[in-house]
């Protein structure tokens, strides 16, 4: 049996409920299902999210949006990244909602939609309807990535309003350090929100409806209630990992959060594998490539059916522990592409513990404690839990538990 990822859909739905309880039942939630839903499986996560009452889905690319439409998912889908002009036909055909940052791309969208409407009119005559493509205006308030400058946002909003083929249905920004409890980062986020509020107000004052206003990512859902607006876009939070803790904020900022109960979430993914072989290793013998671990005494090791090709980082070699029968055993030697090894006789143990060949081992996540979460694995390998879950390969497969 190879490695496999168990996906706890009830944990996902519980996390969505936690976000609703935190931000208010009437507020919209957009679930990012980009990068195959952070490695969890975009189609299944999208369906479960919609069952839980989510209103929007988000992808990075047009091709990801097309996959959702192909599977019959009809909910609004936001395209977070900048599409290529060659993708415009698919955006229109699949009724996807791009975030626009500039007039040039917005003009190209409008021209394509207008042309399509003319073709329908030629065929259908008076029965043809003038279709409008929904777009969200993206404002750069300090991320310095996508989005128009705040002082250009009103001009872009006016241009969208003038387009026969487009409809402004939302206005958004993205926060750079909303998951930080450092005072200077909290101040930076507040400055971003001030810039965003001013830009949105100027759009409204001009007589243009900004549509659904949204800014909050996972960190902002936890730390910045003033960023929640009409919709929130938590990503890793919905997959079970908090990017910040409320009580670690500076005291004056934490006081503003005390009216909200601390949010709690559970990891949605659990990566498991099997004990494929148990063998004795004598004192002085080394294990795996590079001979980075040598037995200090006679011991037993378990060969496990998971490697870095399954999502267990090679950087975790000699640093991580797996759970077998609920007990932790250290990984020893280098993690290889398809396998790794665990030492079964720790401390003064000289006999094999109650572990059998083909028993299951938990690599991270799911029902395991925080010490065996993707966040803990990310910390020892110098990365973030996003990368850990995204790297759980398709070879590992997915088993969805309801």
Alpha carbon distance 316, 331 (integer Å): 8
Residue 227: name the closest of 173, 280, 276 by CA.
Answer: 173
Residue 31, Cα to own-chain centre: how many angstroms? 8
Residues in Cβ contact with 289 at an 8 Å cutoff, skipping those fewer than 6 apart: 333, 334, 336
Alpha carbon distance 67, 57 (integer Å): 12
Catalytic residue among 260, 279, 280, 289: 289
Alpha carbon distance 220, 173 (integer Å): 12
Would the CA dihedral through 384, 81, 394, 57 be positive or negative? positive
Alpha carbon distance 220, 263 (integer Å): 12
Catalytic residue among 13, 34, 66, 266: 34
Q: Are 57 and 30 in contact (CB under 8 A)?
A: yes
Residue 13 annotated in active site? no
Q: Are 2 and 395 in contact (CB under 8 A)?
A: yes
Alpha carbon distance 235, 217 (integer Å): 7
Q: How buried is 353 (Cβ within 10 angstroms: 0-12 exposed, 13-18 middle, 19+ buried)?
A: middle
Q: Are 399 and 41 in contact (CB under 8 A)?
A: no
Residue 289 annotated in active site? yes
What does the DSSP assignment read for 158-203? HHHHH-TTEEEEEEE---SSTT--SHHHHHHHHHHHHHHHHHHHHH
Active site residues: 34, 289
């Amino acid at each position: 049996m190879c490695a496999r990822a168990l996906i706890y859909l009830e944990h996902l739905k519980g996390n969505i409920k936690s976000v609703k309880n935190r931000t208010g039942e009437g507020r919209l939630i957009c679930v990012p299902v980009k990068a195959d839903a952070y490695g969890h499986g975009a189609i299944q996560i999208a369906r479960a999210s919609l069952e839980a009452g989510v209103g929007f889905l988000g992808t990075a690319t047009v091709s990801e949006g097309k996959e959702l439409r192909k599977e019959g998912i009809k909910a609004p889908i936001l395209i977070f990244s900048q599409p290529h002009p060659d993708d415009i036909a698919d955006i229109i055909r699949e009724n996807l909602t791009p975030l626009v940052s500039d007039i040039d791309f917005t003009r190209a969208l409008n021209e394509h939609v207008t042309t399509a409407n003319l073709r329908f009119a030629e065929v259908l005559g008076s029965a043809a309807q003038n279709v409008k493509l929904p777009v969200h205006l993206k404002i750069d308030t300090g991320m310095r990535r996508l989005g128009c400058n705040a002082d250009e946002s009103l001009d872009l909003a006016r241009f969208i309003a003038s387009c026969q083929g487009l409809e402004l249905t939302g206005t958004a920004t993205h926060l750079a350090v909303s998951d930080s409890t450092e005072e200077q980062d909290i101040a930076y986020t507040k400055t971003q929100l001030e810039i965003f509020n001013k830009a949105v107000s100027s759009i409204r004052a001009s007589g243009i409806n900004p549509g659904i206003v949204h800014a909050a990512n996972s960190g902002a859902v936890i730390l910045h209630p003033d960023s929640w607006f009409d919709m929130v876009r938590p990503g890793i939070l919905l997959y079970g990992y908090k990017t910040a803790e409320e009580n670690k904020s500076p005291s004056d900022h934490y006081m503003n959060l005390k009216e909200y109960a601390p949010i709690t979430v559970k990891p949605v993914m659990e990566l498991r594998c099997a004990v494929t072989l148990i063998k004795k290793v004598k004192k002085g013998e080394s294990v795996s490539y590079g001979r980075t671990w040598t037995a200090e005494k006679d011991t037993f090791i378990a060969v496990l059916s998971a490697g870095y090709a399954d999502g267990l980082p090679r950087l975790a070699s000699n640093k991580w522990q797996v759970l077998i029968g609920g007990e932790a055993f250290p990984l020893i030697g280098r993690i290889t592409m398809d396998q790794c090894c665990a030492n079964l006789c720790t401390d003064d143990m000289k006999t094999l513990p109650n572990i059998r060949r083909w028993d299951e081992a938990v690599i991270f996540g799911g029902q395991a404690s925080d010490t065996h979460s993707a966040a803990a694995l990310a910390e020892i390998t110098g990365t973030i839990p996003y990368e850990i879950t995204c790297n759980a390969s398709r070879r590992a497969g997915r088993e969805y538990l309801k």
